[in-house]
Amino acid sequence: MVAEKKEALAGWGNYPVVESLVSHPRDKKDWKEIISTGPLIPRGLGRSYGDQAINSGQHVAVSTRMNHFLAWNEQEGILTCEAGASLEEIITTFAPRGWLPMICPGTKFVTIGGAIANDIHGKAHHVDGSFINCVISFTILLADGRIVTASREENADLFIANFGGLGLLGVILTATIRLRKIETTYFRQQSIKVNNLEEMLEALEKNQHYNYSVAWVDTLAKGKKLGSGVLTVGDAAVFKDLPASLQKDPLKVHTISKLTVPFFMPGFVLNNVTVRVLNRLIAFVQNSPKEFVHYEKFFFPLDMINNWNRGYGKRGFIQYQFVIPEKGGEQVLREIMEMIAASGCTPFLNVFKKMGEGQGILSFPFAGYTLAIDFPVTKGLKDFTRRLDQKVLEAGGRLYLGKDSMMEKEMFQKMYPQYAEWLAIKQKYDPQNTFTSDIAKRLGLGV
Ligand SMILES: Cc1cc2nc3c(=O)[nH]c(=O)nc-3n(C[C@H](O)[C@H](O)[C@H](O)COP(=O)(O)OP(=O)(O)OC[C@H]3O[C@@H](n4cnc5c(N)ncnc54)[C@H](O)[C@@H]3O)c2cc1C
């Protein structure tokens, strides 16, 4: 029998926290045994913010012990690995050989299974698209115990439905993915300070030729300053452009940070006054970067402090990320930022960018503007996010399911009308709802 333990479990936002039965399968045999014992959800490194990888009173099976590399084609940069392997492990092994993952989100502590299940995106979505674009195929253990391959040619419905499928169609066991050839592990970047939303959108437009672009926005700013912030753009640095000091070790790899938030901070630490001070600090740091910067700082600045999520206190926090169409988007963004600044809900770490075309069925991205805001959980937060949801819906937008923890089923169905197509695929491959989770129950993602 695979050992299982009752544990209080949450996503990265530490909200909600629920008791689940947790196990750590080591091989296919363990997974098959777990499946035969009742409903479960696979979990990777738990970096989804909400209730995606928790399962109240039911089973959560953590994939991280199945993290082996299985095959590597150095000529083409094609890797086959177990789905519990993380981007961090892939980078550590392959960056010194001149390869990086094609899609890098804001943390490297995500597994390949998690990256597929949320069809994650990075700062280059307008150029590279989302994770689906680097996946050639994967193998998946289905509810009936079969292990099948899914690709664009084979079981194509299963392939596409897993991107954004939240682990609800089966356990992804292995995946074959493309990495990106690099000359150096550095990026050449530039920061542009903008004084309001109009300037922000202009700067984004003018700098679309950069592969990577992301902005930090001060969502406490009001009036003429509304939408002010710093846009950072950049491209992979080539060897000949690097300063001599960096040319000595052009494929340098990160080290794991020793900085950590040792315990949950008291809830009162983060309030509108402290956030205003921190926003000034962020604006200063963002606005005065070095020209050449290592991938660790470029892609994963938050990984430099372990357990930073404890800074929000025991009540936890949510990350509210939406995307809205570009047309009419400026006015909607203005209204949303005004709502946030007036809400008293302490917005922090606000990330803004432009997205390209989307794929997948329940996959989040589509061409438009996306804004992600952290809010500590407070009494009035749910009422406020309900109002925000309505605004996003009216603008033709939707929320990122990999980060959501508060949306209601009716709102989800309006934002993702294609959910019925996804449910038909769920019915075909998992008619007994063997794969379920708290978000599945909340949003009605079961048959
Ligand atoms: C600091 C930070 C920055 C982030 N930045 C970004 C960003 O820029 N862009 C972005 O898109 N996301 C971002 N995220 C979110 C993160 O990339 C996703 O939530 C990702 O899915 C987490 O992977 P994980 O391994 O932790 O999976 P978990 O959170 O453990 O699980 C996520 C989902 O994957 C499913 N799953 C996991 N393993 C398997 C498997 N083997 N088979 C089937 N299903 C499986 C789970 O059931 C669950 O539904 C960020 C998160 C953090 C904490």
Q: Is residue 215 part of a domain?
A: yes
Instruction: Give the pLDDT band of residue 282 (cuts 50, 70, 90).
Output: low
Task: Output the CA 269–ligand 1 centroid distance in Å.
Answer: 28
8 A C-beta contact, residue 8 and residue 18: yes
Instruction: Specify the ligand 1 atom closest to the Cα of 166.
Output: 49
Using a pLDDT cut of 90, give the percent of the chain over it: 83
Specify the residue with its C-alpha closest to ligand 1, atom 51: 47
Amino acid at 103: I
Q: How far apart are the first and last CA of the chain?
A: 29
C-alpha separations of 441 from 113, 128, 178, 438 in Å? 21, 32, 34, 5
Instruction: Specify the ligand 1 atom closest to the Cα of 165.
Output: 49
CATH number at residue 204: 3.40.462
Instruction: Give the pLDDT band of residue 344 (cuts 50, 70, 90).
Output: confident
pTM over 0.95: yes
* Model pLDDT, residue 280: 65
Task: Please report how the helices 329-343 and 197-206 are oriented relative to each other, as an axis angle in degrees rounded to 10.
Answer: 130
Average pLDDT for 261-275: 68
User: For residue 114, how many C-alpha atoms fall within 13 Å in the half-sphere facing its CB?
Assistant: 28
Domain that holds residue 346: 186-408
* Model pLDDT, residue 275: 64
User: Bridge partners of 176?
Assistant: 80, 137
Cα–Cα distance for residue pair 334/328, rounded to 1 Å: 10
Token readout for 445 is: 């993602």
Tens digit of pLDDT for each residue in 79-120?
A: 999 999 999 999 999 999 999 999 999 999 999 999 999 999
For the cut 80, the answer to whether the pLDDT of residue 272 exceeds it is no
Task: Output the CA 377–ligand 1 centroid distance in Å.
Answer: 21
Residues 6+ apart with CB under 8 A from 184: 236, 237, 238, 239, 242, 246, 250, 251
Q: Of 24, 43, 304, 429, which is best to mutate to test ligand 1, by the most ligand atoms within 8 angstroms of its C-beta?
A: 43
Cα–Cα distance for residue pair 428/369, rounded to 1 Å: 34
Q: Is residue 59 part of a domain?
A: no
Specify the residue with its C-alpha closest to ligand 1, atom 10: 120
Q: Of 66, 118, 370, which is best to mutate to test ligand 1, by the most ligand atoms within 8 angstroms of its C-beta?
A: 118
Specify the residue with its C-alpha closest to ligand 1, atom 8: 105
3-class secondary structure, 219: coil
CA 222 to chain centre: 28
Instruction: Specify the ligand 1 atom closest to the Cα of 364.
Output: 11
Task: Output the CA 113–ligand 1 centroid distance in Å.
Answer: 8
Task: Output the CA 16–ligand 1 centroid distance in Å.
Answer: 16
Closest Cα to residue 135, out of 101, 173, 176? 176
Task: Output the CA 446–ligand 1 centroid distance in Å.
Answer: 20
Q: Could you give the number of structural domains in the chain?
A: 1
Task: Output the CA 173–ligand 1 centroid distance in Å.
Answer: 16
For the cut 80, the answer to whether the pLDDT of residue 253 exceeds it is yes
Task: Output the CA 43–ligand 1 centroid distance in Å.
Answer: 9
Cα–Cα distance for residue pair 206/100, rounded to 1 Å: 27
* Model pLDDT, residue 345: 86
Q: Is residue 13 part of a domain?
A: no
For the cut 90, the answer to whether the pLDDT of residue 349 exceeds it is no
DSSP string of 364-386?
---SEEEEEEEEE--TTHHHHHH
Task: Output the CA 118–ligand 1 centroid distance in Å.
Answer: 6
Instruction: Specify the ligand 1 atom closest to the Cα of 435.
Output: 47
For the cut 70, the answer to whether the pLDDT of residue 48 exceeds it is yes
Q: Of 81, 107, 320, which is best to mutate to test ligand 1, by the most ligand atoms within 8 angstroms of its C-beta?
A: 107
Q: Is residue 230 part of a domain?
A: yes
DSSP string of 222-276?
-GGGTT-EEEEEEEEPPGGGS-HHHHTSTT--------B--SPPPGGGSSHHHHH
DSSP string of 23-78?
E---SHHHHHHHHHHS-EEEESS--SSSSTT--TTSEEEE-TT---EEEEETTTTE
Average pLDDT for 234-238: 97
Query: Rounded to the nearest 5 degrees, what angle is found at the Cα of 160, between the Cα atoms of 109 and 407?
Result: 65
Instruction: Give the pLDDT band of residue 258 (cuts 50, 70, 90).
Output: confident
Q: Is residue 283 part of a domain?
A: yes
Q: Is residue 50 part of a domain?
A: no
8 A C-beta contact, residue 170 and residue 199: no
User: For residue 111, how many C-alpha atoms fall within 13 Å in the half-sphere facing its CB?
Assistant: 29
Q: Is residue 298 part of a domain?
A: yes
Complete edge-to-edge strand list for the sheet that includes strand 18-23:
4-9, 18-23, 59-62, 40-43
8 A C-beta contact, residue 114 and residue 121: no
Task: Output the CA 52–ligand 1 centroid distance in Å.
Answer: 9
Task: Output the CA 46–ligand 1 centroid distance in Å.
Answer: 7
Amino acid at 366: F
Residues with CB under 6 A from ligand 1: 12, 41-48, 52-53, 63, 83, 105-107, 110-111, 113-115, 117-118, 120-122, 166-167, 171-172, 302, 402
Task: Output the CA 119–ligand 1 centroid distance in Å.
Answer: 9
| Helix or strand (DSSP H, E) at 293 | strand 292-294
Average pLDDT for 254-263: 78
Q: Is residue 16 part of a domain?
A: no
